Amino acid sequence: MLFGASNFTVLLVLIASCFAKKTTQESFTSKETLEQTFEQGTNSELLWAPYRSNCYFGIRPRFVDGTPFIFGLMWFDTTKFDSMTRLRHFVSDEDHLERFTWEAYDPRLGGRENIIDPENNLNLTIHFAKTHDDQNWIVRVNGKPLDPTLNTTTSVILYMNQNIGKDPEGPSRLMHINNGNTQDENTFEFTGISEDLGKYEVLINDNYGNYYTNDTLDSIEVVPGCNASRSSHVGLTIPDTEVWRARDIFQSLLTDSIKDIVKELGETIDSGLVPSVLTLRNLHEFDQGNFHYIQKTFDMREEKGFEFDVVYNNMDSTQTIDSGKQATKLINDAIYEINVRFDNHFDIEDTENTGDKRKFAMEVLGNLLGGIGYFHGTQVIDRETVLDEDQFESIKFEHFKEEGPYSLFTSVPSRGFFPRGFYWDEGFHLLQIMEYDFDLAFQIAVSWFNLIDENGWVAREVILGPEARSKVPQEFTIQSPQIANPPTLLLALSEMLTKLIENENELGFSHSVVDAEQEEGISSQLGSNFEYIIKYSKIIYPRLQSHFKWFTETQKGLIEEYLEDMEDDEQFQEVHQNFVYRWLGRTVTHCLPSGLDDYPRAEIPDVAELNVDALAWVGTMARSMKNIAHILGLEKDELQYAETERKIVENLDLLHWDSKTGTYCDVTLDAEGDDEMQRVCHEGYVSLLPFALKLMPRNSPKLKNLLTLMSDPEKLFSPFGLRSLSKQDEHFGAGENYWRGKIWMNINYLCLDAIQYYFPEVIAGSPETSELHDKEVSNMAKKLYNTLRENLINNVYGNWKETNYVYENYDPVDGHGTGSVQFTGWTSLIVNILRHQGL
């Protein structure tokens, strides 16, 4: 495994203890108390964070669905009339930011986000930190001009809303209480009450900064209420479901104000008044309401810039934030502890040889964690449309409706382009997150498993509510219970449990997890609450069973089409006919369910097509279920899943291995011939998945073939990582060119991990060596492992050094980043790979 040796051992001990068949009564003083302590502690620590992943900065509480408090941040330079086109709110590649990154982040503690916005001449740093009881938080916003000679402004718009919930007459409200009558008109105090959160206050205080002024004008108040030299406040009521439209509503209100100004003063307005013209006022005389805008416009002609704090205090807390000095200490303590935790888990040193790779790794991990969001709302589902042969041209889901509401706690692949939950991606995210915070990874996995419905289905994309749907093309919003996706959540679990079973005798179940935690500096409440995991596992196991059943039934292939033509083929007769699979929902051009969207398949789709990667993923599911059943002591289930895994492993060779090309291939009917079985071979990631998912026997002679394929620079090997498709394939780089040669971290990670699994001697100093392969093959594995690993690190790190970002994928020709920018989903697995640089 690419898990750290020592930390991974601790995790194994932890899981062993969590899933142990028997727990001694002496280990617990009160089961209910321990369960409550874990749940209350976790819910408290993870209550507040920037969980609105789609925003550059947006806060909402986790698990508060009825009456949450919502906070967000927007900004733009107001010196030009067209400035609103550069108003920032939702993360977007089209904003052309030079940088937006969490330099340090932990959802339990807080962090520091840095944003460099050249078009708005702004270097923005946002700190977020919480009190030790996790009830209160501070947001510190610091802005500096990139170039103070440009004479720009920075207008920051804060907005906050106390959702009313289902009862409009209920107590939930948010009121501005000082109404600008304090000595400082730029200081604000709000008081709020939420049925879910209780009573609280919000304080907004300036630390320093000069508001916009213009010495050439007698006054910059263009009309009453439009004065950029002081903060502006507008309160109104917005329906809970529309709060996410804060940017649109702001622009609409500001446009109304501008039109009124032009009507009153004419179109010729002094340029020095533009910042005031672009200041929001209460033109429509709204009542104060539950939704509030605060706009602060700072003069950016001095390098110092500005800084202000937003403080949220729960009135029942004994740890309220009462001073700027206290806020500074919370921020500094949070950053310090994040650094300590990171070093305890990854230990990546900056030396002459490694450069600033620690900073790189910390930012990549921070952005993965900073992309964790909490989503609540309805999902659009079509349960009626049946997929048949007509689907190959296009799939039309016309019988959809909204279901729910549902909730999901998840990381996202990319805050700018994919700010929602992806089943296919999340398992890879967890492989990274569990290295840093096992409890957090567990919470995310639990949230996903809770979405498995009574039929065993979970959507491939979980798009909850209008805010999440606003970032998704309409044709992709509808989810179908017939469409699957690679079950990577079970992959993550399987990887851990497989290693656990291999080390069960060595580790035992009596090892003291508390001692292990102290040795490794790992913080884990689960370490003292094994009973909770056992209890939950017994609850979730039937769901996993139904999910396995749903997957294997909906994706089952049609082997009958081949039986007559292959009746004389002895090898085919050995195929386990009930264990063949294909991706339902593929079209002529795409196979979205596979996750490898445009990877070439048979040119003419057929209902009898059998996909090697679908079979391999079912094998992974069977292995995972086998391991869970083993840990829970369910011997009958364990034998059943082991038998399924065995048959799938055999079918991979019997049905999908092509001796001519020496690789694994899809199977289909020859549409241009006599409907005979033929293998469709496109050397690339699909060919590697039986190896990457460790489904080949450890002594398989076919391993050499795949090592050769991965090592061939004319096919898959490149100076930047393994290509998704062979350079010699006719489809290489063609068409949409998404999975047709681009280098993707998730499959590269699996391949590195598999090399280490089959050839443990590739890790220097490893006590385990493989005696199943000759020296030539072992040396080939060592060379491939070391060069591939080095190439991946150098390329991803090099791109980050040059651009400040990591990417969705990388070009196979020159290695430059392509696809979505700041794709800190599975690309963050580079941190797992990097930590082994000293081995």
Please identify every residue annotated as catalytic: 597, 808
Distances from the Cα of 810 to the Cα of 728, 738, 767, 794, 798, angstroms:
18, 10, 35, 12, 12
- The answer to whether the CB of 348 falls within 8 A of the CB of 359 is no
- The answer to whether the CB of 69 falls within 8 A of the CB of 150 is no
Place of tokens 């795949």: 706
Tokens of 254: 């500001």
- The answer to whether the CB of 741 falls within 8 A of the CB of 812 is yes
3-state secondary structure of 485: coil
Helix 324-346 to helix 357-370 angle (10° resolution) is 110
Q: CA 658, CA 678: separation in Å to the nearest integer?
A: 10
Strands in 415-540 per DSSP E: 421-422, 461-462
Q: CA 612, CA 651: separation in Å to the nearest integer?
A: 9
Q: CA 397, CA 483: separation in Å to the nearest integer?
A: 12
Tokens of 349: 């040193």
Tokens of 584: 């339902």
- The answer to whether the CB of 395 falls within 8 A of the CB of 587 is yes
Q: CA 778, CA 594: separation in Å to the nearest integer?
A: 32
Residue 178: how many CB atoms within 10 A of its CB? 13
Distances from the Cα of 343 to the Cα of 184, 329, 433, angstroms:
43, 21, 15
Q: CA 132, CA 679: separation in Å to the nearest integer?
A: 60
Helix 357-370 to helix 423-436 angle (10° resolution) is 130
Place of tokens 């959507």: 459
Tokens of 500: 């656990």
Tokens of 251: 């622009």
> Which residue blocks in 221-269 are alpha helix, DSSP H?
246-265
Query: What phi and psi, each to the nearest 5 degrees, are found at residue 462?
Result: -105, 105
- The answer to whether the CB of 100 falls within 8 A of the CB of 93 is no
> 477-507 in b/e burial notation, b at 16+ Cβ within 10 A?
bbbbbbbbbbbbbbbbbbbbbbbbeeeeeeb
Residue 761: alpha-carbon gap to chain centroid = 33
Per-state percent for the chain, helix, strand, coil, to nearest 5: 40, 20, 40
Radius of gyration of the chain (CA): 28
Distances from the Cα of 216 to the Cα of 155, 271, 273, 298, angstroms:
21, 11, 10, 17
Strands in 572-719 per DSSP E: 657-658, 663-664, 666-669, 677-680
Q: Which of 70, 72, 448 is nearest to 61 (CA)?
A: 70
